[in-house]
Chain A
Amino acid sequence: MLKDVTFGQYYPGNSLLHRTDPRIKLLILVEYLILVLVASTELAAAVSIMFTVFLIAVSGVKLRILLKSVKPLIFVLIFTALINLFFTTGESEPLVDWKFITIYQEGIRSAVMMLLRLLSLVLGSSVLISLTTSPLELTDAIESVLSPLKLIRVPVHEFAMMMSIALRFIPTLIEETNKIISAQKARCADFESGNLLRRVKALVPILIPLFVSAVRRAEELADAMECRCYHGGEGRTKLKVMKACARDYIFFTFTTLLTVGIFFINNITIAGIVELCRDIF
C-alpha cells in the first residue's frame, strides 16, 4: 500500500544544477520566483520562459520525469486559467457574449499569462530544488541560509535538525506502518470497502499504534543523541562543509542581473520598440 511512497522526488545525476551549491540554488530560487511573478508584459514573459527553459536544459532531468511533477497540478492550472478567462473584464467589446459567458480579449491574455506563469513556477522550482537537490543537502542549505536569523533567536539549527531526523525516520515509519497494516489485516480489518467515513474510521487502528510507537522512538532517540554529547548547534562542527565555487557565483550573478533587468524589461512595450526602430532608421 505504501511501497511506492518516496520522499521528495530527487533525481540523482551529475548535471550543472546537481553540482551547484545548494545554498546558491536556494537564493537563485528566490530570485527566480520574483522574476516569474514580476514579468507582466509579453517581452518580459518571453524572457522568463527562456530562463525556465535554460534551467530545464542545464538540470539534465528527462522531460518525462519533469512532466510527472506537473501532472498532479493540471487541474489547478486549468482551473486558474478558466477563472482568468471568464472573469477578466476589459474595455473593448467582448469577443464572446453568450448567455452568462462573456470573454474579453484581456481575459484570453491574462489566462495565457497566468498559465505560463504557473507552469514556469512549477517546472523551474522542480528542476532547481526538488529534482536536483538531495533532502540532506537541502536541510544543510536551509540551515546555512537562515543562520542570520539566529541573531533574533530563531532556532534555525533545531529546525534543520528536526527536518533531517524526520527525513531519516520516514523509511522506518513507512516500514512500521506496513507491518501494522498487515497485522490488522490478519485480524480481518477491512480498509478497502465502505463509504468514506468508514474508510477513515478504519485508519484509526493504524494511526494510534503508529503514533504511540513514534513517541517511544523519539524518547529513545533523544537518549541516544544525548549519549553522543548532543547539545544543540552551539560549538558544533560539520563533517561535510558546503563550498561554493566560481561557477556558482557566476550563475548567481547572472540570475540577479536578470531579475533586476526584468523590472526594466517590463517597461518596454512592443510598440515602444517599433517606435525606437522607426526613429533609428
Chain B
Amino acid sequence: MSFIEARGVEFYYSPEEDKVIKGLDLKIEKGSYVAILGHNGCGKSTLAKLLCGIYEPTEGQILVDGMDTANENLSFDIRKKCGMVFQNPDNQLVASIVEEDVAFAPENLGYPREEIRRRVDEALKTVDMTDYAKHATHKLSGGQKQRIAIAGVLAMSPECIVFDEATAMLDPTGRKEIVAAMKRLNKEIGITVVTITHYMNEAVEADRIVVMNEGEIIADGTPKEIFSKVEELKAVSLAVPQVTELLYQLEQDGFELPRGVLHAMDAADVIDAFIGGQK
C-alpha cells in the first residue's frame, strides 16, 4: 500500500461553487520526491491541504499511511506523519524566538522537556540554523524564516512534508536554500517530499511530476517524460524549463534533437553530439 492514497477525491468549498477537485486518484510512495505542477487556481493548494487533513474530501477518500483523513480521531496522528510548510513565511511562525517556534509542535504533543530540547536542537541542525536558536524570528531573511518553518515541522519527526508553494515568496537565494533543504530531507533522511510549485526549475529536481489542470491530473511521470510533452504543457498554460524550451524551439526549426533534456550541461552534450553527427 502506498504512503498516501487518494481515491476518487472530489472537493468543493460550497455546493453552489464549482468543484475544485474532480475525481482525483493519486498514489504517493514512501520516500519519494513528488512535484505537483499546475497554474494558478488549478486546485493544487487545495490538494495539499487535503493531503494533510486540513480539509476533508467532499467525496472519495484520502488515506495517509492507511489512516482516513476524514476520521477526526486520527487527525493528530495524520498531522504528525504528514507536516506542511506554507507559502508565506511570516504567517506560519508562531513565536517571536526561533527555538520557541520550533518547539511549538512538540509542546503541543506534550513531550517532556528534555525530549523537546532534543528535537528542537536536532531540527535546527538539520536545516542548518543552530546558530540562530535565540534570534528573533522577524529579523531573519525569507529563506531563513522558511527554514525555521521546516524545522518546526521536522520537530514532529514526520514521515512526509508537503510544501505548499513554499518558495513562491522568496528571493532567488532563499529559493535555492529551500530547494536544497527539500532535496536533503528526501535523500539523506528519507522523508517523503511533496512540493507544490509553478517553478519548472524546482519541479525538475523531483523524481516524479504530477501535472494538474482544473482539478484533474492530466499528466504523471518522471521529469523527463513530462517535459517531453511540450505541446500538452503549453495547452494548459504551463511553461517548460528554459533548457527544454530551447531544444524544443530548435526542433521546431528542423533540427532533430531528443526531447526531455532538463539540465544545461545535458543540453550542451546533446547539441555537441548533434553537431558532431552532422560533420
Closest CB of chain B to A63's CB: distance in Å?
Answer: 28
Decide if A220 touches B86 in the complex (CB within 8 Å).
yes
- Of residues 119 through 156 on chain B, the ones whose CB sits less than 8 Å from some CB of chain A are 120, 136-138, 149, 152-153, 156
Q: What count of chain A residues pass the 8 Å CB interface test?
A: 28
Query: Using an 8 Å CB-CB cutoff, how does the interface string of B99-133 with A read, 1 for contact, 0 for none?
Result: 11001111111111100110010000000000000
Residues of A within 8 A of B100 (CB): 136, 239-240
Query: Which partner residue on chain A sits nearest B152 by CB separation?
Result: A228
Decide if A228 touches B79 in the complex (CB within 8 Å).
yes
Choose among B54, B99, B106, B116 the residue that contacts A227 (Cβ–Cβ < 8 A).
B54
Decide if A220 touches B54 in the complex (CB within 8 Å).
no
B27-35, B90-98, B240-248 - the one binding chain A: B90-98
Decide if B108 touches A223 in the complex (CB within 8 Å).
no
A99 CB-CB contact with B under 8 Å: no
A231 CB-CB contact with B under 8 Å: yes
A167 CB-CB contact with B under 8 Å: yes
Query: Using an 8 Å CB-CB cutoff, how does the interface string of A155-175 with B read, 1 for contact, 0 for none?
Result: 000000000110110011001
Decide if A227 touches B107 in the complex (CB within 8 Å).
no
Q: How far is the CA of A227 from the CA of B94 in the complex (A)?
A: 12
Residues of A within 8 A of B113 (CB): 237-239, 241
Decide if B96 touches A239 in the complex (CB within 8 Å).
no
- Of residues 88 through 110 on chain A, the ones whose CB sits less than 8 Å from some CB of chain B are none
Q: How far is the CA of A183 from the CA of B61 in the complex (A)?
A: 46
Choose among B91, B110, B137 the residue that contacts A217 (Cβ–Cβ < 8 A).
B91
- Of residues 52 through 109 on chain B, the ones whose CB sits less than 8 Å from some CB of chain A are 52, 54, 76, 79-80, 83-84, 86, 88, 90-97, 99-100, 103-109
Decide if B91 touches A221 in the complex (CB within 8 Å).
yes
Decide if A237 touches B153 in the complex (CB within 8 Å).
no
A197 CB-CB contact with B under 8 Å: no
| Chain A interface, >50% SS class | helix
Choose among A164, A168, A172, A228 the residue that contacts B108 (Cβ–Cβ < 8 A).
A228
Closest CB of chain B to A52's CB: distance in Å?
Answer: 31
Query: Using an 8 Å CB-CB cutoff, how does the interface string of A46-85 with B read, 1 for contact, 0 for none?
Result: 0000000000000000000000000000000000000000
Closest CB of chain B to A170's CB: distance in Å?
Answer: 9
A257 CB-CB contact with B under 8 Å: no
Closest CB of chain B to A72's CB: distance in Å?
Answer: 25
Query: Using an 8 Å CB-CB cutoff, how does the interface string of A194-215 with B read, 1 for contact, 0 for none?
Result: 0000000000000000000000
Decide if B86 touches A223 in the complex (CB within 8 Å).
yes
Decide if B120 touches A239 in the complex (CB within 8 Å).
yes
Q: How far is the CA of A230 from the CA of B101 in the complex (A)?
A: 12
Q: What would be 26 A-B contacts, judged by CB atoms less than 8 Å apart?
A: A167-B96, A168-B93, A168-B94, A168-B96, A168-B137, A172-B90, A172-B138, A217-B90, A225-B94, A227-B79, A228-B79, A228-B152, A228-B156, A229-B79, A229-B80, A229-B156, A231-B76, A231-B108, A236-B110, A237-B110, A237-B112, A237-B116, A239-B106, A239-B113, A239-B116, A239-B120
Binding site for B on A (CB under 8 A): 135-136, 164-165, 167-168, 171-172, 175, 217, 220-221, 223-231, 235-241
Binding site for A on B (CB under 8 A): 49, 52, 54, 76, 79-80, 83-84, 86, 88, 90-97, 99-100, 103-113, 116-117, 120, 136-138, 149, 152-153, 156
- In addition to A227-B84, A237-B113, 5 A-B residue pairs with Cβ atoms within 8 Å of each other are A165-B94, A217-B88, A223-B49, A227-B79, A239-B113
